[in-house]
Structure 1
């Protein structure tokens, strides 16, 4: 009834808070906060996650935010983001979509410098319920500020200090005070030595489950020995170091018997360390090895023999691995669900055939720069891995249509297919995908110049669930193929048709008519597209958020203005600077990205 408040007079604060917590739309939350002072106050109380730009973000501003949002448990401060633009409430602890909070303020009201120890003191005083703290490249924060946080935020469970020049004293304070810490990320923390990490391992050893260390030159095997001695429930370890050797990895393998995820980029580690992991870490589920040049198939044989629960294996630039090691993994790790082989030049068709025959639960396979892997390998995968859902192929020059046909016939649950610069793959293979894989949602065939319109006609007829399509550089594709997609794939949200020289306005009109859910489109280097096609596209595609259209000679400033004025959700337009009128620049300068052609 007009003039009567039937909500505030009936609903208590507790129920209103629960309603606000269940809103997953930014516009809904912002609208609620503007209704009245009570709703504004309660909406602030419902926020549990805040995202702040650290650049040009003063300590006074942090203090102000802390005083208004007192129930925050997750705080994210990133020096790479502009503090003067955006403060956001990121993901909640549930899987709800991120919401964002915009706080507008006069820039010269606050000091203009990065977050310092005084700001961390404000964090410590204002966010006493904090459970997760992420500080990204906050270079002015030191051990003193981190000590304030440690003393006040006793419930801290996750700490990310990427790029922060904190010293041992701050990390030691975290170890002494934060007895619930479970996750610690130390990337590019150049001020740390073994002393700080060893103290933290001693203090938080009973709770620490995840540890990441990268580019910390003063952290050595001594730290890992402390981790092995005290962190008995450690489940995830990620190391990127030129200084850690076998001794540290072996200490972790002996002491952390619950280890499930291991990510290593340590050029000094040899077969001895990986053999220890294989024999001792029997619960290991995920293993990623990057740029190893001092170990051989002996390591993978030990992994295959001992780590029978392994579900994910990534091998990148491991030049001394061969089919023998991969065969050992296939024989011992029947639960393997994800395999990525990147630039391991001695792995060939035979090794992948073993995976296809023995790893029946494989769901995702990625082969990057595998010049010795041929069609027979994927034929075995097609025969044996009926649960395969994702296949990624990059620069695999021997793989052709026969391999893709085998996958299509044998892996009918395929949802994602990404192929880039595999020049032997043509329309025949993609037609087979369209005829057999009706659950396909994501198709990317970049620079596969033997794929033509007939392939996309098959996809349009057989894959109605397609949401993501990238055919960049497939110069044989034109209006007929894109029209078939527009008419057969109404759920399409992403479309990249860049460098398609034969694509014309008629195809864009069909996309606008048939794909109203489209959010992102890339039209760069499409020489036949004009303002007319853009107008037809945006007439129905009102949800469009980004549009890339550089080097399209038929697009003018009028076409750019049409896109910006029609699409109310547009967030990014990439275009040459010369094609943006002064009026458009004034109206939407913040969403326009320029690519200069006046070089």
Structure 2
């Protein structure tokens, strides 16, 4: 009944707060907070996470937020993200009249003057030690803190934070130039710390890391180090000696050798996740991992120069619980090494092989024969893997749900038919520049893989309309990317539009045979479309956009550069017809002054002025 509040008068605060906590998206929570003052207060009371980007004054924001949100436990400050402050002064063309001297106008003027003065100082756009101190004072119960690329934060601020935020469990200092004193303070006061990320912290040395490790030895479970020239094997030896609960280790360093990795392997027998990019680590270290880390579940190795089949055999022999394996640019690992993993690690669920040029068909056949629980397979730049490898996967890995193929010239329709017939639970299929895969393989996927929701066929120039017709008849896609498949035309896209009403993401860029008919069909059949890429489609015009946008009101992004048939009128139609639009990529000369005034914040240009 109009005029009667049926919610606030009946529901207690505890129940409304619980409803807010169950809302997953921030826009939904923000919308609820605008209903009334009570809901605004309760939403602030229930919020536990804050995210802050680079702004005109992070220090000022931290102090302001600490007074409004009282129960925050997680704060993420990422100065790679821009978060420009809305204009605080009224538009110049509007006359304010008597309101010029109003108190609110005066406050806005004072804040605007403050903003302008701070903008002249480069450091005003970065969180400083003062801001970190304000954060510690305002949020003493914080448990998770991320400071990503905050260059003006030093040991002084970190010491202040550590002394007051003793409940800290997760600390991410990626790209911060903090020193040893700050890290030592964290080790001294934050005895509950479980996760620590020190990637690209160039100001640290072994002394600071060792002090922290000794202080947090009873709680530390995850450590990440990358590109820190003064963190060496000494730090890893301290980790191995003290951190008996360590489960996750990420190392990207040319200053770490076998000695450091062996110390961690022998001292941290609970290790579950190991990611290494260390050019000076050899098979000796992996022999220790195989001997001591029987709980290892995830192993990722990048750009190894001295890692061979010997190390792979050690892993296969000792790490029976291994579920995820990533090998990237490991040039000296061959099929024999992968066979050793397959025979020893039968619990594998995910395998990624990227640029390992000595791994061929036989190695992957072993995976197909021995690892029936495989659910995700990624083969990138694997020129020596042929059709029979995927035939073995199709025969032995019935649980496969995700398949990525990039630049695999030996894989064709025979392989895809085997995957389609054997892996009928396939949900995501991403193929790029596999020129031997054509209509026959994709038709088999459409016929047998009814659960497929994501399909990407980028630059597969043998795939045409008949393949997409089969997909439209057999699968209900949510995402489709056929960029560069020049044989696809209106018939194929129209079949997708008729058969995939749940489609939300579509990329049909660089398709020369696509015209307005496709857009009209998409408008009729795919009202849930959110992301659309039309770049380099020369036969699409403003008329097609008009038909599309009559029903596709949920569109958020639209890329349409080098579309000669789209004019400034089409761009204006997109921004005016789509209330949720966030990004339009277009040539600058196609954007009218009126469109800029109306939606300049969502327009992105192909080329920026120098």
Q: TM tier, shorter chain?
A: over 0.9
Q: Confirm or deny that 1:516 pairs with 2:521.
A: no
Written as runs of structure 1 = structure 2, the 5 A alignment for 1:377-526 is 377-464=389-476, 466-526=477-537
Q: Confirm or deny that 1:261 pairs with 2:266.
A: no
Distance across 2 between alignment mates of 1:207 and 1:392 = 38
**Which digits, 9 at most, give the CA deviation of each residue in 1:197-248, with x for residues without a partner?**
1111111111111111001110000000111111101111000001000000
Deviation at 1:84, TM superposition (A): 3.1
Match of 1:581 among 576, 586, 592: 592
| Equivalent position of 1:46 in the other structure | 46
**Which digits, 9 at most, give the CA deviation of each residue in 1:252-271, with x for residues without a partner?**
00110000000000000001
Deviation at 1:279, TM superposition (A): 1.1
Q: Report SS of the residue matched to 2:378.
A: strand
1:84 and 1:107 in contact (8 A); partners too: no
| Equivalent position of 2:69 in the other structure | 69
Match of 2:321 among 291, 309, 330: 309
1:124 and 1:152 in contact (8 A); partners too: yes
Written as runs of structure 1 = structure 2, the 5 A alignment for 1:315-394 is 315-394=327-406
1:150 and 1:174 in contact (8 A); partners too: yes
| Equivalent position of 1:89 in the other structure | none
Q: Confirm or deny that 1:192 pairs with 2:192.
A: no
2:490 and 2:517 in contact (8 A); partners too: yes
| Distance change (3 Å), C-alpha of 1:531 and 1:278 | same
**Which digits, 9 at most, give the CA deviation of each residue in 1:520-576, with x for residues without a partner?**
010000000000111111111111100000000000011111111111111000000
Match of 2:190 among 168, 178, 195: 178
Q: Report SS of the residue matched to 1:474.
A: coil
Deviation at 1:5, TM superposition (A): 4.5
Q: Confirm or deny that 1:284 pairs with 2:289.
A: no
Deviation at 1:3, TM superposition (A): 4.8
Distance across 1 between alignment mates of 2:164 and 2:79 = 23
Distance across 1 between alignment mates of 2:134 and 2:462 = 60
Q: How many positions carry a matched residue from both structures?
A: 581
| Equivalent position of 1:550 in the other structure | 561
Q: Confirm or deny that 1:84 pairs with 2:84.
A: yes
**Which digits, 9 at most, give the CA deviation of each residue in 1:377-396, with x for residues without a partner?**
11111111111111111111
Match of 1:156 among 164, 168, 177: 168
Deviation at 1:476, TM superposition (A): 0.2
Q: Confirm or deny that 1:17 pairs with 2:17.
A: yes
Q: Report SS of the residue matched to 2:495.
A: helix
Q: Report SS of the residue matched to 2:550.
A: helix
Structure 1: any 5+ residue segments left out of the alignment? Answer: 87-103
Q: Report SS of the residue matched to 1:547.
A: strand
Distance across 1 between alignment mates of 2:254 and 2:62 = 37
Q: What is the TM-score with the length of structure 2 in the denominator?
A: 0.93
2:55 and 2:85 in contact (8 A); partners too: no
Q: Report SS of the residue matched to 1:237.
A: strand
Distance across 2 between alignment mates of 1:3 and 1:391 = 56
2:56 and 2:85 in contact (8 A); partners too: no
Distance across 2 between alignment mates of 1:379 and 1:515 = 35
Deviation at 1:61, TM superposition (A): 2.3
Distance across 1 between alignment mates of 2:374 and 2:30 = 44
Q: Confirm or deny that 1:247 pairs with 2:247.
A: no
Q: What is the TM-score with the length of structure 1 in the denominator?
A: 0.95
| Equivalent position of 1:109 in the other structure | 114
Q: Confirm or deny that 1:299 pairs with 2:304.
A: no
Structure 2: any 5+ residue segments left out of the alignment? Answer: 87-107
Deviation at 1:13, TM superposition (A): 3.1
